[in-house]
Chain A
Amino acid sequence: MKKYIFILLIVFFSVFTSVMKAQETGMAFIKEGSFVPLYGAVSKKPVEVKSFYIDIYPVTNREFLDFVKKNPSYQKSKIKGLFADKSYLSYWKNDFDFGNAKPNSPVTNVSWFAAKKYCECEGKRLATMDEWEYVAMADTKRVDARTKKEFNEYILSWYEKSRTYENEIGKTFKNYWGVYDMHGLVWEWTSDFNSIFLSGESRKDKSTDKNLFCGSGSVNASDLMDYAAFMRYAFRGSLKAQYSTRNLGFRCASTTKPKI
C-alpha cells in the first residue's frame, strides 16, 4: 500500500514539475482532442489533434530583437527577398530598434519564413492550423465555446477594432488552457497556412473538390460562429509566405515538452 502511495506521489510530482517547467518556458500544455473545424475539413469529420504545447503569448518585439541579433540574415536590412517582402519589420527604425513600438507588444510585419525560423531556433515550430484553431475555440471556461454568442461577439468586435497590435501581450482573456491573446491582439501565422482554398475568383485554378469549403462554406457562412472563423481562414488564404503585415504576428508550438 505504502509503495502505491509512493508511486502515486512520484507520478504526481513529475506531472507537477512538468507543468511548472512548461510554465517557466512560457508554454501551455494542450491536451489531445478532436473537433470539427469550421472550414478546411472534408465532410465535417472531426479532426484529431494530438497533445502539444503552445506559447502562452505571441512573440514580442523584445524577443524578436534578441533573435535577429543572433541571426543576422533575418535582420530588416539583410533578409533575402525570397524570405520576406519589403514590408518586413517596416515599423522598426533599423535592424536593432523597434522604434515606438513597445517591447512587450507582439512583433508583427514578419514573414512566414522568419516566424518559422524563429521557432526553429527556439527548438519549437509553428502550430498547425488545426492546432491553432483547437486552442482558439476555448473561452475562459470551456474547451469549445464556439457556439456561445458572447464569445463570437467578442471575436467579431475585435475584428472591428483597429491597431490592437499596439497593445501589449497578455491583456486579453486567459483561456481554458491558460493561453492568452488567441483573439483580440493580432492574427497569427500557422505552419500550414498555405493549405487553404478560398480564392473565389480563381477556382478554376484549383483542383476543386466539391467537398471543400470554396462553394459550400462561404455560402453557408451565415451565423456569427461561421463568420468569425471564415474571416480567419479567408485571411490565411490571402497570404503568401513572403508577406508581412502590421496585424500579423505569431507564436510557437512544440510536440514535445519544451526544454528550458
Chain B
Amino acid sequence: MKKTAIAFLLLFSFYSCKEADKKEVKAEIKKEISDLSIYNLPSKWTTQDGKDIELKSLRGNVLVMVMIYTSCKSACPRLVADMRDIESKLDKNTKQHVKLILVSIDPNTDTPERLKSFAIENKMNQDPWIFLRSTEENTREFAAVLAVNYKKISPIDFSHSNIISVFNPEGELVFQQEGLGVNNDKTIETINMEARKI
C-alpha cells in the first residue's frame, strides 16, 4: 500500500515536473520584448508580395538586414552580392531559422511591385529572402536604429552607409558588417551561432 502510495507520489511529481517544463516553454514564448529589441518598433512594412507586416511577426528568426534601393547602380548591387554570398555560406542545418531582408530606403520608387520584379530579376523571390518598404518616416527611423545613414542626392540617387546587420531571434542587434565586399567570416559565424540556439 505504502509502495503504491510512493509510486503514485512519484508519478505525480514527474507529472508536475513536466507541467512546470511546459509552463516554462510557454513563458519563454510569451516573454516580453526586450529593451533593445527592434520589435519595440510599431512601424508597419509591406513585403514584395504586397503583404503588410509588423517587424514583430519575424520574431524567432535570425534576421540579416541591409538597406538598399532598387534603382541603385553602384553600391547596392555589391551589397546585394554580399548578402547573397552570406546566404550561400550559411550552415544548411540551421538555415531555415534565418531570414535575409532587404529594406528599401526609397519607398517612393520601390513599390511592392517594383520590389517584386527586383526580387525576380535577382532570383531572390523565395525564402529566405524578404523585401520590405514602409513610409519615409518609418524608414528614417529604422535607419536610425541600424545606425545607417542615407541621403537623397538626386531624384534617383541616394548616398548610404553599407552596413549589414544581424539580429538575434529576440530582435537585438548582435553584429554589424561595414563596407563593401569585406570579409564576412565573422558575420556568418554570428548568424550560424544565433541560428543554432533556436
A: residues with CB less than 8 A from B are: 40, 42, 80-83, 112-113, 116, 191-192, 194-197, 202, 204-207, 209, 211-212, 237, 240-241
Contact = CB atoms under 8 A, between A and B. Distances in A.
Nearest to A40: B151
B146 to A, nearest CB: 9
B144 interface: yes
Contact of B35 (A82, A207, A211): A82
A116 B141 CA distance: 10
B85 interface: no
Please provide the 6 A-B residue pairs with the shortest distance between their CB atoms, ordered closest to farther: A241-B144, A207-B75, A195-B151, A81-B35, A81-B36, A80-B35
B145 A82 contact: yes
A205 B179 contact: yes
Interface residues of B, number: 30
A106 to B, nearest CB: 22
Nearest to B147: A240
Contacts of B147: 194, 240-241
B74 A207 contact: yes
A187 B163 CA distance: 27
Nearest to A236: B149
* Interface residues of chain A: helix, strand, loop or mixed (majority): loop
Interface stretch (B20-28, B119-127, B154-162): B154-162
A191 B135 CA distance: 14
Nearest to A211: B153
B160 A206 contact: yes
A112 to B, nearest CB: 6
Q: Which of A191, A195, A197, A204 has the most CB of B within 10 A?
A: A195
A107 B147 CA distance: 24
Contacts of B162: 205-207
A237 B159 CA distance: 14
30 contacts: A42-B153, A80-B36, A81-B35, A82-B35, A82-B37, A82-B38, A82-B41, A82-B145, A83-B40, A113-B141, A192-B151, A194-B147, A194-B148, A194-B149, A195-B152, A196-B151, A197-B159, A202-B178, A202-B179, A205-B163, A205-B178, A206-B159, A206-B161, A207-B159, A207-B160, A207-B161, A212-B153, A241-B141, A241-B144, A241-B147
